[in-house]
Amino acid sequence: MNPTTTQLFKDTFQSEPTHLAFAPGRIEFIGNHTDYNGGLVMGAAVTEGITVAVSLRADRKIALVSDAGSEVDLSLDAMTPVSGLASWTNYPIGVAVVLRDLGMEMPTGFNIAVTSNLPAGAGMSSSAAFELATAKALAALYGYETDTAGFARIGRKAENEFVGVPCGILDQGVSAFGKADQLVRIDCATETFSTIPMPANTHFWIFNSNKKHSLVDSHYADRHKECHEARDVIQAKYPEVGTLSEADEAKVREMESELGDVRFRRALHIVTENARVQAVEAALAAGDIDAVGVSLSASHESSRVNFENSIPELDTLVDLLKAQPTVYGARLTGGGFGGAVMALTGPGFGEAQAAEIAAAYQAAHGLETTVIHTQAGEGAKLLS
């Protein structure tokens, strides 16, 4: 499926890989930052993603190479996070550590080559795709078995505990459970996964702002902390509220003074976003695509005002897209603080409209936008 991965492996290690795996990036359709707050989210796996090739070694060494960097050599006996130019290796090594801790025996090391056709830093979760592809490949290589949800949890655990990003299950869950022409719905409180058909004749357009973000270095951890502090304040009065998403807008507004301005707005975003996910699910069931679009655009506005994880470049793209008659709705997708905007469009939106938006965006910000027209695709899988 991806001969460039095999070729990179052969060029680097002078041998054939024994296993290949692919995992897709994802679009966060609706449910911004609700995952680690025990809420509902919807996403779609895309057709673009990351492919890894692996084989066993005879020694205790791990050798890694990517299409974006040089070879990195590590020891199987010293799998610890690294910084600097080699920090990209934290994703596959983190997965290896989680698998080892789950009981996967690794008597010898491995070679791994990775290629990607997914833009890094665009809010499409190249990190989760890397984790899931690695987990699939290493599990096959060393004979470890788990189910689809198990692979998603392996990826999340690696990102939480090894990479150091306190993400929820959205990214890994969508990458694992993706289906063609389907949205993945996750109830993060119970980690229940299901799929919902995409509306007919609708399209995903992704506009990368090319303002790169890094969740490790951004305010993501701050938002995580603020949300959990808000939950604790609400929980003191309403002990039945186990997660922030279990609160509702009335409770949050009632406790505005106790929460203070910042925590109030963070909490308001989460509870209204959770309600928007439910509204989108109902609208999809009723075939009301216009109502879906209204919720998508309202989601972005809440991200901009209450969660403050948008930036002017993303706001410009959303405003330009909303002005197009064949765009149902648009919003930032992913963690925010840079990255990309997703638009749900009808078939009348095409390359001409995308080029018009790209030109207006460049005039406003002096940046080019990378445009991706994609569709919902399959989840993580072994290729051989």
Question: Taking residues 271-291, what's their average pLDDT?
Answer: 97
Q: Over pLDDT 70: what percentage of the chain?
A: 96
Q: Determine the pLDDT at residue 68.
A: 85
Q: Which two tokens stand for residue 108?
A: 């010898």
Q: Determine the pLDDT at residue 123.
A: 67
Q: Determine the pLDDT at residue 1.
A: 44
> Residue 141: which pLDDT band, with cuts at 50, 70 and 90?
very high
> Residue 178: which pLDDT band, with cuts at 50, 70 and 90?
very high
- Give start-end residues of each CATH 3.30.230.10 domain in the chain: 3-197
Average pLDDT, the chain: 94
Question: Taking residues 338-347, what's their average pLDDT?
Answer: 93
CATH number belonging to domain 203-374: 3.30.70.890
Q: Determine the pLDDT at residue 133.
A: 98
Query: What are the catalytic residues?
Result: 171
What's the fold here for domain 3-197? Ribosomal Protein S5; domain 2 (3.30.230)
- Give start-end residues of each CATH 3.30.70.890 domain in the chain: 203-374
> Residue 166: which pLDDT band, with cuts at 50, 70 and 90?
confident
Q: Which two tokens stand for residue 157?
A: 């655990």
